[in-house]
A and B are shown apart, each in its own frame.
Chain A
Amino acid sequence: GQNIDQPTEMTATEGAIVQINCTYQTSGFNGLFWYQQHAGEAPTFLSYNVLDGLEEKGRFSSFLSRSKGYSYLLLKELQMKDSASYLCAVRALYNQGGKLIFGQGTELSVKP
């Protein structure tokens, strides 16, 4: 079966660093994605990992370990506007493109 787990909610303080973990068990793997979704809005793409290691993009970094079925999203210098749901998604193995299997999302609240 396909299973993606991430914490339901997290709270952090403005200016701090927060790490959101994601573990997955899927029948195929062709990349892991992180999306940000504000309430009532569309998910927006944050990062993509297909090889092991860390990908850095400004205040956001994402890490992948394929052997452990594990990823995390690291947010630095938190801002109030970072309060949102963060979605971990795995792309199922396919020849071209391919559906994304999403976790439930982690609701992050940034406090002043």
Chain B
Amino acid sequence: NAGVMQNPRHLVRRRGQEARLRCSPMKGHSHVYWYRQLPEEGLKFMVYLQKENIIDESGMPKERFSAEFPKEGPSILRIQQVVRGDSAAYFCASSITRASGASYEQYFGPGTRLTVT
């Protein structure tokens, strides 16, 4: 059973370019979360999506950032007009809803390390 997959693993962009980060959740998982980890800082929640729906985007910057999880294909985190402060590791996680009430642990992908030059 393949884990959460993210690509690219490393991405270099010049200031002003666009960055597209992709995430394929674990098989059978319908919940996707994006987190950002700045250097020397903890993981910060950005957005929570289910197929074709944004459930919680309270951690997303108001401008330049958007996310989607289409019916078919991976979830995409899109950053327009990148700035140096966007340099960070971006992690995607997925989880499954259990009717039994058992734990809803989130499984993390390997991350995309974005460097803005």
Contact = CB atoms under 8 A, between A and B. Distances in A.
Interface stretch (A37-45, A66-74, A75-83): A37-45
A24 to B, nearest CB: 13
Interface in B57-97: 58-59, 91, 93, 95, 97
A35 B108 CA distance: 10
A40 to B, nearest CB: 8
Given A42-B109, A50-B103, A105-B42, A99 B91 contact: no
A100 B33 CA distance: 9
Residue in A91, A100, A102 whose Cβ sees the most chain B Cβ within 10 Å: A100
Interface residues of B, number: 27
Interface residues of A, number: 24
Interface in B26-70: 31, 33, 35, 41-45, 48, 55-56, 58-59
A31 B42 contact: no
Residue in A45, A50, A91, A96 whose Cβ sees the most chain B Cβ within 10 Å: A96
A107 to B, nearest CB: 10
Contact of A102 (B31, B44, B56): B44
A43 B91 CA distance: 9
Interface of B: 4, 31, 33, 35, 41-45, 48, 55-56, 58-59, 91, 93, 95, 97, 103-111
